[in-house]
Amino acid sequence: MRDLVDPAALVELTSALVAVDTRNPPGNEREAAGVLRDALRRWSPTWTEVEPEPGRLSLVAEIPHPDGPGDRPSLLINGHLDVVPVRAEQWSTDPFTPTLDGGRLYGRGTADMKGGVAAAIHALDVLAASGRTPAWDVVFHFVADEELGGALGTRALLDAGLVRGDACLVPEPTGLQVCVAERGLLQAELTVHGVGGHGSRPRDSVSAIEHAASVVLAVHAADFGGVEHPLLGRPSANVGTIQGGSGVNTVAESCRLGVDRRLLPGATVESALAELRERIDGSAIPGLRYDIGVLVFGEASEMDPGHPWAEQVRAALHATSGAEPATIGMSFTTDARFVRNQAGIPTVVCGPGEVAQAHTSDEMVELEQLVDAAAAYAELLCTPPPSTTG
């Protein structure tokens, strides 16, 4: 299967996707639609568009089976089109002008995750070249808004009743390891209230910045404890942003902290907030007044690492490139959680590119990994699902 992959076609399609600026915010995923429609034209898919806000397009492409409609299992392939912002001055090349150098393709989204999307699309061509027939009905979900929580993307498809299938592959960058679990995420804004006053008489007032500093120390020192998850480790918390005060010569009336908590399966938004309050209140900061608002919440998700679908993905990687992929958990969350938790579909995250490349400057993907991915995906497409092999 691997020798049927056309590396030049893979680079071309990945590059075409990367060249469309889909930085989120604002996303503008609709801009990528033309590239996708061209890439899949030869398969004459049935297209469905979901656009909850102007420009925030998610596309569903149902690929007709060469033998016509039939009673087959369906495989969902979910890939997001948005990318994270760039700091152009930190890049050696233009992030939206993909550059191939030394077997690596550089550009924003090459790893996360336009390379994975391109490999999944190219897998159809690889399979056709092999003369084998898909064992599944294949449905692509090209989604918006994953990087900011997925409300305008996979969540919107879920609400429209479109997330259906017997198994799901999410080609996010895992270095082609097989990911079956993800930590959840709570992003909260914590506002610390003080009493403003003249900067020359700080002890007559209450400095919100002083209290916020104590809160930061308390949160960072907190052990959120619990049983260690075999793939996900322990929950964590980090204060990522801080803004406070109205002037150098004024005692700060208020100070806002952006808190990022990572959660294990079972944690809810309520339990995560309650634990945060417990740790802050437990640190007994005298006179502290604060409130917390939720910015983003995504629960953790997992599937049985021994699930036949995970076995099948490992077997496809081994069959096509001889790899012995590890089974891993990820410290962050992807749209796989919607598919696992809300749609109840066994979902493996496995794609080209290293997690460490995602969201960085000079993001890149190794061409060899793109090729390995396309070959393994083609193998998956023509292998009957585990539930029907017995």
Cβ(166)–Cβ(266) below 8 Å: no
How far CA 175 is from CA of 258, 284, 323, 348, 352, in Å, comes to 30, 44, 11, 13, 5
Of residues 59 and 113, the one with the C-beta less far from Zn ion:
113
Part of the chain binding Zn ion (CB under 5 A), chosen from 111-119, 132-140, 194-202, 306-314: 111-119
112, 137, 363, 372: which one binds Zn ion (CB under 5 A): 112
Cα angle 99, 172, 188 (rounded to 5 degrees) comes to 110
CA 255, CA 209: separation in Å to the nearest integer? 6
Q: Tokens in use for 354? A: 């290293």
How would you label 316-345 residue by residue, b for 16+ Cβ within 10 Å and e otherwise?
bbebbbebebebbbbeebbbbbbbbbebeb
Between 57 and 355, whose beta carbon lies closer to Zn ion? 355
Smallest distance from Zn ion to CB 24, Å: 10
**Residue 93 is encoded by which pair of tokens?**
């090349």
From 110-118, 152-160, 219-227, 253-261, give the range in contact with Zn ion by CB under 5 A: 110-118
What is the torsional sign of CA 124, 78, 2, 368?
A: positive
Residue 278 catalytic? no
Please state, in angstroms and rounded to a whole number, the distance separating the CA atoms of residues 224 and 272: 10
Q: Residue 80 or 261: which CB sits closer to Zn ion?
A: 80
Please say which residue, 112 or 379, places its beta carbon nearer to Zn ion.
Answer: 112
Residue of closest CB approach to Zn ion:
112
Quick one: 112 or 372, whose CB is closer to Zn ion?
Answer: 112
Burial grade of 192 (CB within 10 A; 0-12, 13-18, 19 or more): buried
Catalytic residue among 125, 145, 146, 166: 146
**Nearest distance, CB of residue 92 and Zn ion, angstroms:** 22
Q: How far is CA 282 from CA 206, 219, 275, in A?
A: 20, 10, 10
CB of 194 to Zn ion, least distance (A): 39
Count of positions (residues) in the chain: 390
Nearer to Zn ion, 2 or 23 (CB): 23
Q: Is 57 buried (19+), middle (13-18) or exposed (0-12) by CB count in 10 A?
A: buried
The size of the interface with Zn ion (CB under 5 A), counted in residues, is 3
Span near Zn ion by CB under 5 A; candidates 8-16, 91-99, 109-117, 229-237: 109-117
222's CB contacts (< 8 A; 6+ apart) are 237, 279
Report which DSSP code applies to 75. E
CA max distance for the chain: 82
Smallest gap from residue 322 Cβ to Zn ion (A): 27
**Under rule CB under 5 A, residue 335 binds Zn ion:** no
First to last CA, the chain: 24
Residue 147 is among the residues annotated as catalytic for this protein: no
Q: Contact with Zn ion (CB under 5 A): which of 11, 40, 75, 113?
A: 113
Binding mask 344-363 for Zn ion (x = CB under 5 A): --------------------
- Cβ atoms of 18 and 98 closer than 8 Å: yes
Of 7-15, 113-121, 252-260, 291-299, which part binds Zn ion (CB under 5 A)? 113-121
Q: Give, as ranges, the residues between 144 and 183 that touch Zn ion (CB under 5 A).
A: 172
Residue number with CB closer to Zn ion (172 or 379): 172
Enumerate the active-site residues. Answer: 82, 146
Binding site for Zn ion (CB under 5 A): 112-113, 172
